[in-house]
Structure 1
Amino acid sequence: MIKPIVMTTLLASLIFLAACSGESLPKVEPTSSTNTPTRNASPNTTKSQDTGATPSSITNFKADLTIDLESAKDLLKEYERPALDVLEKNLTALVQHDYKLYRFGFVNDRLADAMDVYYGEQFQYIFSSIEGIEKKASNYNQLHITVLGERLDTTTDSVEKVKMMYVIRQNKQGDWDIYTID
């Protein structure tokens, strides 16, 4: 009985101290990896992580897409390479705040609506590398492409690392579409 009371009091104290200091508590990130690594591989597969950005890094933040997609093409078969074009258009749309282009690559409007959580005028993205490309044997012509970068939220003036895994699949007509972002 005492232990839960002590833990609750301790937790409340930590929250109070964090609120007073204006800083957030660090996030604990799980580690697991199922991606086939590429040249820029990292063993961590979490979606995002708080970086504890300083005001100077926020003022220097410039949205950009610096991923070397040409080298990623070497990892794919010729017929799979158009999936990278779909990925590039979606990432470019996030960087340039082009809502119409962002919604264009999804398999349907319902999914595009569900993925609106990644799009927002308050977000600025820097996409820097592809962590991994995994070909799914269970679904013919489906790729899981994990991209790494950072996101500035201008409403909170905070920068966080992002890891977004795109599921891109070829449909019966031969076109590649985004089936989800996780």
Structure 2
Amino acid sequence: MLKKIAMTVMLTSLIFLTSCGGDPISKEESNIAATTPTPNSANNTEKKQNTETKQPKETSFKAELTINMKSYQDQLAESDLPALEVLEKNLTALVEHDHSLFESGFVNEKLVEAMEPYYGEQYHYKFTGIESIDDNLPNEQQVNVTVIGQRLDTTSDTIEDVKMLYAIRKNDIGEWVIYTID
């Protein structure tokens, strides 16, 4: 009886080792082997791939500002709240393509020129949220706000996620203005 059990264990071990040994098959190879195409399925796969590449980019992109600035007021001191107004004006200018409003929020003309790459008629913005607000900075009276959303570039018909860091603080005469967008 003991011989039979030993032989069964040994035989089972050999079968197990034999099945585990040999060349390992990658997931891709096993998927290819498991899904050998039939003539009809090959045509269906080709059709599916063709329709995916022929589909136009998202045409229902809507430029908009959906951020409720009031919901972020509790994250700032009362004296820093004007920074949210400056931010909202700049985001509105980008969404509505209002160049004079866009220019009005910066500390000086030189910065306006440096920030021009963010503004352009080919860009359509959809701002959906604020990722972070930081007002505990070494510069007194400065607020950094990171805004998230998407941007449609109509020249290439592409949509990309955007994350823009605004540094907003008081200028020499005490007005809240944008010092940079990164």
> Normalized against structure 1, the TM-score is what?
0.68
The equivalent of 1:156 in structure 2 is 156
Deviation at 1:138, TM superposition (A): 1.4
Q: In structure 2, give the amino acid aligned to 1:75.
A: Q
Correspondences of 1:74-153 after superposition (within 5 Å):
74-153=74-153
Measured in 1, the distance between the counterparts of 2:57 and 2:72 equals: 29
C-alpha distance 155-55 of structure 1, shift in aligned 2 (>3 A): farther
Question: Which one has more relative contact order, counting CA pairs under 8 Å at least 6 apart?
Answer: 1
Tell me if the contact between 1:136 and 1:144 (Cα under 8 Å) persists in the aligned partners: no
Deviation at 1:172, TM superposition (A): 3.5
Correspondences of 1:1-182 after superposition (within 5 Å):
58-182=58-182
Q: In structure 1, give the amino acid aligned to 2:130.
A: I
Q: Please state which structure has a larger fraction of its residues in helix.
A: 2
Helix, strand or coil for the counterpart of 1:59? coil
Measured in 1, the distance between the counterparts of 2:162 and 2:109 equals: 24
Measured in 2, the distance between the counterparts of 1:55 and 1:180 equals: 38
Deviation at 1:136, TM superposition (A): 4.2
Q: In structure 1, give the amino acid aligned to 2:90.
A: N
Measured in 2, the distance between the counterparts of 1:113 and 1:55 equals: 37
**Contiguous gaps of at least 5 residues in structure 2:** 1-53
Helix, strand or coil for the counterpart of 2:92? helix
Identity of matched residues, % = 54
**Contiguous gaps of at least 5 residues in structure 1:** 1-53
Q: In structure 2, give the amino acid aligned to 1:174.
A: G
C-alpha distance 115-55 of structure 1, shift in aligned 2 (>3 A): farther
**Deviation beyond 4 Å, 4+ runs, structure 1:** 54-57
Aligned residues: 129
Helix, strand or coil for the counterpart of 2:138? coil
Measured in 2, the distance between the counterparts of 1:58 and 1:97 equals: 20
> Normalized against structure 2, the TM-score is what?
0.68
Tell me if the contact between 1:58 and 1:152 (Cα under 8 Å) persists in the aligned partners: no
Tell me if the contact between 2:122 and 2:155 (Cα under 8 Å) persists in the aligned partners: yes
